Amino acid sequence: MLDAQLKTASKPVKRKKSFLREWFDSILFAVVAASLIRWLFMEPFVIPTPSMENSLLVGDFLFVSKLHYGARTFKTPLQVPLTHQKIWGTNIPSYSTAIQLPTFRLPGFTQVKNGDVVVFNYPPPKSGEPDYPVDLKTNFIKRCIGVPGDRIDIRQQQVYINGKLFPTPAHAETNYFVKTTEVLDERFFRRYDIVNDFKSPEGPFINWQPLEQYNDSTKTNSLVGYSVNTTAAIIARFKEFDWVKSIEPMMDHPGELMPGIYGGSAHPWNRDNYGPITVPKKGMTIPINPQTIALYGTLIERYEGNHKVALTPASIKVDDQLITAYTFSQDYYFMMGDNRHNSEDSRFWGFVPEDHIVGKAVLVWMSIDPDPASFWQKIRWNRLLRLVD
């Protein structure tokens, strides 16, 4: 009995954690858990631009699955947890490039497929931004149109994949000319969710505007109709109005070169007539000539892991050796926004490398209208917990 009492008396008393220590431990556990969830399973994103309207709207809050395609290992391990590029509310970088690691992708339960809505790192450096490491580049969201090896051809706004028509997404938008005898205002267009957005990070997007013609005899302008960016379903409703005289798609003509189009240095393409173009696949070999350099030269220079590349419109040197053919070391994808005339996508900057893929958009869990007609319409209740399709 005495021995038991002595053992009890000699046992050190466990000190109770202080209030600050308990808070620190709780916060540390929450940060570690949240970081692991974001990396391995699911990450939240918000839609800042209308490039995916009307499938996804500005102000939609998404969950993006890392499980579908498999999570990437970190290229830049020295990062402040739960940040991206900058520390919250500052211009201070949230990372250090002192250590850069090779990236690998953990096993997923599927691959990127035609029609998937995908979040990825925007491949080229954005104007005015540093050339961030791959895992810290700006996040974009688009629909995957072409997977590795696909042949893409866009003819008069219709997309063909390997010669077969790819169905236009149900909520995709494009431009129409609506000829009318009535004067329409913002309230009318808002009734059909056609709203001009002047708050987008990419600048103003005009979804409707009046079109006028100049009359030489009266020296005045007269209304002839409206340029409207909307869905085919809304246009079908417009056709029922007796004051609508006609509705025509507004599109670029074949053979007209659009400034800034990807590959335009060798091909007379535009956003509505593009291709045919083959999406690079790992192991695919191409000849080197001015036409292939215009399409694939940037990939060889930036994304293939080549250390020294000298690129001209007519030739490519890798490690000071002139090459006549090239074999790709990774897969690539062709992405387009559902808002076909208001989307900065693969038609303008090219292909998305496989190591830039972040995850698959699966669920809209909240949606907030950035410019509601009234305070009570701030939350878009009909979009809550909506699956992304």
Q: What is the pLDDT of residues 272-301, one digit of tens each?
A: 999 999 999 999 999 999 999 999 999 999
pLDDT above 60 (res 8)? no
Global pTM value: 0.90
Cα angle 142, 105, 122 (rounded to 5 degrees) comes to: 30
CA distance 141 to 227: 26
Is residue 42 classed exposed, middle or buried when 0-12, 13-18 and 19+ CB atoms within 10 A define those classes? middle
Mean pLDDT over residues 101-126, rounded? 94
- 8 Å CB contact between 186 and 69: no
Q: Which residue has the tokens 């909520």?
A: 171
Residues belonging to the active site: 51, 142
Note the Cα 94 to chain centre separation in Å.
22
Average pLDDT, whole number, for the chain?
89
Q: CATH for 173-249, among 3.30.70, 1.10.3470, 1.10.10, 3.40.50?
A: 3.30.70
Query: Could you tell me what percent of the chain has a pLDDT over 70?
Result: 91
- Any residues with CB less than 8 A from the CB of 315 and at least 6 apart, and which? 288, 293, 322
How does pLDDT run across 41-74, given as a tens digit for each residue? 999 999 988 899 989 999 999 999 999 999 999 9
Structural tokens at position 167: 């169905």
pLDDT at site 22: 78
pLDDT at site 2: 45
pLDDT above 90 (res 11)? no
pLDDT interval class at 230 (50, 70, 90): very high
CA distance 178 to 238: 9
Mean pLDDT over residues 359-385, rounded? 89
Cα-based distances in Å from 294 to 95, 121, 261, 266, 329: 34, 22, 11, 6, 19
Task: Give the H or E element holding residue 46.
Answer: strand 42-46
